[in-house]
Amino acid sequence: MTIQKIKATIVGVTGYAGLELLRLLYSHPFIDVAIITNTQPDGHDISEQFPHFSGMYNLSPEAFDALHIMQKTDIVFFATSSGISKDLAEPFILANFPVIDLSGDFRLTADDYQKWYHKTPAEPALLAKSQYSLADFYDNETTSYIANPGCYATATLLALAPLAQHHLLDQNSIVIDAKSGLSGAGKSLTTASHFVNVSDNFTMYKPNSHQHIPEITQQLHIWQPDIAHIQFTTSLLPINRGIFVSAYVKLKEPRTPQQLQELFENTYADKTFVRVMPSNELPNIKQVVGTNFADIGLTYNPETQFLTIVSVIDNMIKGAAGQAIQNANHFFGFTESIGLNLIAQYA
């Protein structure tokens, strides 16, 4: 019996996340990319603009056409910037057509979106249909509109989940110092992304104002209802890929390092893509770049009573395209690691 492959559409294929989806889905045994779209399709094969794709695909970006997408494919990935999917989603939602949205447009309430993105949010009726899906904790059985979490949010939530789920976080002492490589900032040509300004440099660029803050707080609040805010800053690392989150937290109740280690190991024992380091060992970025893994390590300081948790991910994979595929695997009932069995290149 021939397995009918799932056909996928990627909207906004020429951004980093879209290209990463295209790259990763190439090796997915059950999902084929059938349609790719961007805002100014020129009829040329994707490899003309991106020579590294030469010989791999036979696809040219098309104009966005919701009906065509629903007729010809089985799932659509929105790899668009914020402010776009909110205006394109409706047909899919009405038709219950599966969507994995990598943008922020369906992650928050209308009020939070307006406040943090400074844009008109999606219609509340549509927002109500979406599910914020941190893939390691949600199985997507009952939703067809999946809001893929942001990269910083993913790394941060995975660092804090075991503690939040057990109501252990001291709301007054949650300090997150998050750092990312440049691909997280997108391809826009800005002073901030000019090589000379980034190379050999390190910059804190959105203290207390990054758009991932509300989704982190929202999810933490679901796990631990007394959490209303987090101290969260973002900085730019002079590298292409990777997110390194240093979380400094205090606990409501004392726990020994041993207990904390076990808490993390138990929470993640059955999570394919979250690896907890041995006691007091901390992960570095290159362990996960090129993979869908989040690696987590902890170390407790009894003198200051701060628990330091380090969480690392590849911002384009676990933080975007990989998590999207993981969410798609859930939706279709595939083994969640299908197409994501990747080992870090490291050297």
Q: Are 150 and 215 in contact (CB under 8 A)?
A: yes
Which residues within the stretch 172-211 sit at the binding site for a second copy (CB under 8 A)? 172-175, 177, 179, 181-183, 187, 189-191, 193-204, 207-208
Residue 8 binding a second copy, by CB under 8 A: no
> Based on CB atoms, which residue is closest to a second copy, 92 or 244?
244
Residue 137 binding a second copy, by CB under 8 A: no
- Residues with Cβ within 8 Å of 341's Cβ and at least 6 positions away in sequence, in order, are none
Note if 222 is an active site residue.
no
CA-to-CA distance for 280 and 29, rounded, in angstroms? 38
- Residues with Cβ within 8 Å of 71's Cβ and at least 6 positions away in sequence, in order, are none
> Based on CB atoms, which residue is closest to a second copy, 70 or 175?
175
> Based on CB atoms, which residue is closest to a second copy, 21 or 126?
21
Q: How far is the CB of 322 from a second copy (least distance, A)?
A: 12
Whose CA is closest to 149, among 185, 103, 181, 183?
103
Of the candidate spans 30-38, 97-105, 158-166, 223-231, the one that interacts with a second copy by CB under 8 A turns out to be: 223-231
Residue 299 binding a second copy, by CB under 8 A: yes
Rounded to a whole number of angstroms, the CA Rg of the chain reads: 20
Work out which of 289, 313, 324, 325 binds a second copy, going by CB under 8 A: 289
Of the candidate spans 79-87, 147-155, 244-252, 323-331, the one that interacts with a second copy by CB under 8 A turns out to be: 244-252
CA-to-CA distance for 183 and 291, rounded, in angstroms? 15
Residue 246 binding a second copy, by CB under 8 A: yes
Other Cβ atoms closer than 10 A to 13? 27
| Total residues in contact with a second copy, by rule CB under 8 A | 85
- Residues with Cβ within 8 Å of 281's Cβ and at least 6 positions away in sequence, in order, are 297
Residues serving a catalytic function are: 151
